[in-house]
Amino acid sequence: MKKRISIIPITEKLRGYDSEMGGVYTTADLYNLIGELDLEAKRRTLRRLLREGVLSRVARGTYMSKNPDLGVLASALIPQGYISADNILAKNGLIGTVPAKRMIIVSPKRKRVYSTPYGEIWNLQIQKNLMFGFTEARGGMKLADNEKAFLDLLYYFQKGMRFVVDPYGGIDVWKLNSKKLKKYLKKYKNPKFVKFVENIFDGTDRKING
């Protein structure tokens, strides 16, 4: 008869790592935290953690504890993507409304919505040549800078998506670097979109071409 292993110490260990990991774990992470057991015992322990609600399986090889960081979770599900649009603009104080329980990540992958008990993750598809303007942060996340987040928001707004902010007057565009924005805009080959971005600035005291 196999000895039943208590999951209480493992649960407490997971709670201790939640802040560092953003509440998101791979199978390898969990096997490492479970400790010095043989592989089959590790598998049984992981199944118990899932069965007892300590963890939830999000996708193959990806698990989350309660109240995970949606940005870290999005980056684990779509590692080639970067967090953008109103999530970044809210985080950096360019808009006053924070998106509630919704994280936008931009990547070359086909559009998809991941639903979890803690919020939705929207993967928005973009061409590979427009994958720029982001830096890597903690937990493997990649974060757009303000200028790319602004352009992404306008890009998908023009395609019919709506956000927590109206781009016509709802964004503090004076906080954007107009030189960087102009440089980024040159990478977009759609004249209609370029004109749309320029028009957003027309009602402000700044000009993108200034």
With CA atoms as reference, report the closest residue to 189 among 143, 133, 127. Answer: 127
- Residue 163 three-state SS: coil
Write out pLDDT tens, residues 40-89.
Answer: 989 999 999 999 999 999 989 999 998 899 999 999 999 999 999 999 99
Residue 158 one-letter amino acid: Q
d(CA 79, CA 177): 27
Q: Taking a C-beta distance cutoff of 8 angstroms, is the pair 24, 68 a contact?
A: yes
- What per-residue confidence (pLDDT) applies to 7? 79
On whether the CB atoms of residues 10 and 16 are closer than 8 A, the answer is no
Q: Which two tokens stand for residue 96?
A: 């006053």
